[in-house]
């Protein structure tokens, strides 16, 4: 009896409360050790590399300015002066690139908090604790054994769905830490028209990764309100195994749909950022 309740609760649970709480965390709160480590990498590796990149960009810009001057001394001085100011501004931004990412993180945290307040996402999918509908009624051993066998496949699919959501959330946080470690380099690329798209693409991808988690959280909220997560209740006198057979397709579909929702949220986030 307990096994049947546990399996039904797992199938109807959708996304665990722990991973929902993890989605709402900022990179600094998710893992402070990795967050600090990415800051160390940014300081010890990212900034020196950015300085090297910026020196090359500066030389290219000076050559371009000299070519555009075409022997006009006054124009050449103006172009070189503008180039030096531009590189100085980019250097200042490169040295403080982490602050740019923190701003993006803050916007993402605000969006997540707003979505959380608006949707009130709860623990478990729309089906809730399906095992509780059985109550304390006694099941005969044959019906219990048959119910366990029938629930085995939906139960395994629900566990796979939960693992997929957890892996996606963890990978996105790791991606943010890795990208934050080299934030200064993309800023340096902004100094040249030929590499500017690289720098813009980096910050675009970072913002996309931040909002992928927000979109996933919102997708879970939509998922919880779908009718597929509300199978009919066990009628009085109805055999549990018969109820499972009647709702077998729906029990599997709920978990499969959750996996599809994860993939869909990724596509939606890319579409929002024009990919």
How confident is the prediction for the chain on average, in pLDDT?
79
What pTM was computed for the model? Answer: 0.78
Instruction: Determine the pLDDT at residue 126.
Output: 44
The fraction of the chain above a pLDDT of 70, given in percent, is: 80
Residue 174 — pLDDT band, cuts 50, 70, 90? very high
DSSP 92-150: HHHHTHHHHHHHHHHHHHHHHHHHHHHH---SS-TT--GGGGGTT----HHHHHHHHHH
If you search the block for the tokens 């109550």, which residue do you land on? 135
Tell me: the pLDDT tens digits for 64-116? 766 666 666 666 667 677 777 777 777 777 778 888 888 999 999 999 988 88
Predicted confidence (pLDDT) at residue 190 exceeds the cutoff of 70: yes
Instruction: Determine the pLDDT at residue 98.
Output: 85
Predicted confidence (pLDDT) at residue 122 exceeds the cutoff of 60: no
End-to-end CA distance of the chain: 50
Predicted confidence (pLDDT) at residue 178 exceeds the cutoff of 60: yes
Predicted confidence (pLDDT) at residue 171 exceeds the cutoff of 90: yes
Q: What is the mean pLDDT of residues 171-177?
A: 93
Residue 177 — pLDDT band, cuts 50, 70, 90? very high
Give the C-alpha distances (Å, rounded to integers) separating 85 from 68, 76, 78, 81, 183.
Answer: 17, 14, 11, 6, 21
Instruction: Determine the pLDDT at residue 215.
Output: 92
Predicted confidence (pLDDT) at residue 233 exceeds the cutoff of 70: no
CA–CA gap between residue 154 and residue 157 (Å, rounded): 5
Q: What is the mean pLDDT of residues 133-142?
A: 63
């Amino acid at each position: 009896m307990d096994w049947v309740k546990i399996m039904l609760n797992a199938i109807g649970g959708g996304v665990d409360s722990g991973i929902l709480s993890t989605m709402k965390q900022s990179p600094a709160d998710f893992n402070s050790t990795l967050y600090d480590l990415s800051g160390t990498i940014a300081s010890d590796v990212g900034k020196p590399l950015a300085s090297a990149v910026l020196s090359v960009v500066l030389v290219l810009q000076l050559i371009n300015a000299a070519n555009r001057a075409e022997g006009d001394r006054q124009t050449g001085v103006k172009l070189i002066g503008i180039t030096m100011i531009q590189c100085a501004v980019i250097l200042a931004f490169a040295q403080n690139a982490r602050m740019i990412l923190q701003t993006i993180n803050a916007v993402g945290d605000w969006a997540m908090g707003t979505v959380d307040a608006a949707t009130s996402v709860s623990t478990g999918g729309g089906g809730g604790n399906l095992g509780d509908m059985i109550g304390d009624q006694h099941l005969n051993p044959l019906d219990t054994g048959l119910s366990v066998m029938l629930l085995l496949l939906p139960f395994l699919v629900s566990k796979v769905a939960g693992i997929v959501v957890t892996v996606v959330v963890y990978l996105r946080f790791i991606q943010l830490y890795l990208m934050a470690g080299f934030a200064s380099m993309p800023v340096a690329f902004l100094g040249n028209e030929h590499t500017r798209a690289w720098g813009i693409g980096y910050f675009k991808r970072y913002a996309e990764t931040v909002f992928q988690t927000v979109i996933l959280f919102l997708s879970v909220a939509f998922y919880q309100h779908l009718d597929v997560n509300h199978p009919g209740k066990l009628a009085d006198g109805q055999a549990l195994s018969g109820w499972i057979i009647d709702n077998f397709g729906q029990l599997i579909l709920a978990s499969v749909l959750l996996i599809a929702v994860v993939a869909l949220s990724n596509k939606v986030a890319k579409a929002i950022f024009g990919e």
